[in-house]
Chain A
């Protein structure tokens, strides 16, 4: 079906535990590393010891000769590039000729055990001529820099220049214009499950089966077919339980292809388990972002113009880079009504592990800069931060200047809720010394309206199977990675059919069984797969109603069904239980399969300008949050005392899961704001463990009070929109604004570590001393 205004959902269930929760709490859930691999070979990867260089010699003969080694592969075994964007596939699963970051896969071994595989790696002879390596955007863009990719002059992967409205006029009309530089450090998803992949190649049938940590089984199938020169019909990708994603696994990863290549070379089964260090090196997370932001504001708080210059240090290969740099500009729109926006973005190659998509893809760092500067300007104009946001609200439905559709908009209510809940008006400015309150807003897409691999197929397909036993099985390609998408499918089906949740079973993400799905990214599943599931359930309901009508000798339009009972609605008291209706429906038919689909209409797929599809969606989620902090001026330590967050998710299909997603995303924003940062020493990751990559522990984590706002999106399933990403981007600026409120210092760099706080405090004391000395001298 194409999206059409949905009727208001009347959900009875307010919060349902995950349908696969029992497996998780009992330890029965099988993640990739838990799969039976007693008979599998063990895979290991040889990685580049240098950041940039040409491979002079790669001799694997001694490794191959080692007893117990079944296969050794190199770049020679795969001449095909891969990548998530059809226009930017510039990466080989194993390097060919050139290595561009430290840790890049060069060769791989499959052996009978881990010790043998590691010994074999040690026998591979590698000689590399080093080239100059660049670890900053600036160095990579220097005029004399060696190019990482010959077709990308200046080591710039993509430049974006967008202007909507008249910024010159906008700044001229402003009462206050401010310009500020911001920098957000590179961070990592750090999902708790390390990467792993299990691949089995059967040489007798020529079939490949892969079980892996991917959020995008369909893309993996495509890339395996490409890299292994196989028909995709011979490849089966099965998703086991997945220990978190957050974007780490939304593009096909080198080790997944390498494992499959090894399985074919060894003609068997290969288990590849990456270490935590290798999982960090595989990366694909949020890039370091340097920003220069200029805003114009009138004295009543109206934003008159916005000009943003962004440089993202993207790492050595394309990955999602083009999308990230486009998102950073396009999602300046859609949150507020801004009359003029100019955006210049540069995605730069550097000799570091490739960046990619991470929760809040592309929008987080630029939203941070924006919400910080808006707050500072509000303070300068003597305006309340809430009032400034309220002065710039959109009116839905509307189309933004860059052609994004906004069909529902609950931001005003989000602001009201957190303002009240946090006691903002009563408490702001009256807190004890060292304590502060800050706030910020954010938004995110409910699924990219234009798919990456555009094929003309619907955005989502769900099959429902009804059999003699009265069970309803939903078949979906959507990857549940812990966010609860399978539970969402079960609820939407059960609600539409008005049957018990326990009657619905969900089988997800097995390419041999489930219909193709683009995967778990851009928060697309609830909106798109949810709508497809409802469509399928409506079709199944029509089949059941027709069967009941035949049995009750009534017209289908007179049949009512509720709670697994069918009756004639015109006063006739004859009823039929669900089992009888199913039996009637199966006469002459047998097991029934129906299909539901969902397609975003073309007018929701963004503007016609270059890159205009990025940011387009059927529904934006909206969030506002207030953060309360205490800053210890002796240690520079910031404690987050409490967070109040409100998110407009349209309609909470499963409020329990929505709360969990909001809390998790806010908390992930907190990690980025306060402590998370990837660091490289000459390209060597210095952060590649869960101790050195410092994310908040339970000791650092505040209470997060969540408020769900339901704006009832006209096109969402039961009115729902996404709930997993929208609140993240608001935390870092809310924190920085709270710290400014607490100690009067405006931080422009993330994370705001105790070191940075101490440096700023010391500098302030020095300046104060200097000022008083000068004053005394004069």
Chain B
């Protein structure tokens, strides 16, 4: 047995809740359904999504606001959830990658990213697709430059972006 196994005894003692900041009730619409949760005031949206609602499609790739892997939609706008406080979403409409496929169908962006290999390792993909989703909702016929601008905050290390741009273009061209 390792010598630190004795720590188990100490570790199992009741842990008093620490004097952390209070929780508040957060009410928001998440992926089409209103819900209420007790949330720390300082809790980041990404942590709320991943740890409270267990929607782990939204990723953390950096130490804050650098990579875009955590991009979600708040009232239709692409937002990095790792530098957004959950409480700021009170009463608002939050959408994550999990909401895009409906009734057994991939969204047009999801299908295009799948078929055109816009995703290799897939880690940046949810953020990338959500950023592109925000773009297509406000601009259904984006140019190459529009696509690049909309995705400029999302880093990918696998694709060189070539097939990501092709995927968004394919989604634009698809009719569904």
Contact = CB atoms under 8 A, between A and B. Distances in A.
Contacts of B142: none
Interface string A744-768: 0000000000000000000000000
Most buried by A among B63, B97, B115: B63
A244 B123 contact: yes
Given A112-B15, A115-B20, A192 B69 contact: yes
Interface stretch (B22-30, B73-81, B86-94, B155-163): B155-163
A288 B157 CA distance: 21
A753 B106 CA distance: 42
B119 A25 contact: yes
B163 A660 contact: yes
Contacts of A659: 117, 163
Contacts of A191: 121, 123, 157
B135 to A, nearest CB: 12
Interface in B34-77: 50, 55-63, 66-67, 69
B160 A482 contact: no
Nearest to B18: A115
Interface string B3-25: 11101101101011010100000
Given A112-B15, A664-B159, A698-B165, A24 B59 contact: no
B114 A27 contact: no
Given A690-B62, A698-B154, A24 B125 contact: yes
B134 interface: no
A73 to B, nearest CB: 6
Most buried by B among A25, A194, A482: A25
Nearest to B165: A698
B157 A244 contact: yes
A25 B114 contact: yes
Contact of A657 (B20, B117, B125, B129): B117
A93 to B, nearest CB: 13
Interface residues of B, number: 64
B15 A67 contact: yes
Contacts of A656: 117
Contacts of A34: 50, 56
A193 B7 contact: no
Interface in B103-119: 106, 110-111, 113-115, 117-119
Given A244-B121, A481-B121, A25 B61 contact: no
A632 to B, nearest CB: 19
A265 B6 CA distance: 9
A22 interface: yes
Nearest to A22: B114
Most buried by A among B4, B129, B160: B160
A30 B155 CA distance: 19
Nearest to A671: B157
A29 B123 CA distance: 9
B106 A27 contact: no
B11 A27 contact: no
Contacts of A697: 152, 155
Nearest to B16: A67
B122 A689 contact: no
A219 interface: no
B61 A193 contact: yes
Contacts of B61: 192-194, 243, 276, 690
A131 B117 CA distance: 50
Contacts of B148: 698-699
Contact of A193 (B10, B59, B165): B59
6 contacts: A64-B10, A72-B4, A192-B124, A243-B124, A659-B117, A695-B155
Interface of B: 2-5, 7-8, 10-11, 13, 15-16, 18, 20, 50, 55-63, 66-67, 69, 96-98, 100-101, 106, 110-111, 113-115, 117-126, 129, 148-149, 151-152, 154-165
> 10 closest Cβ contacts across the A-B interface?
A27-B57, A482-B121, A667-B160, A24-B122, A243-B123, A27-B97, A70-B11, A34-B56, A690-B66, A265-B4
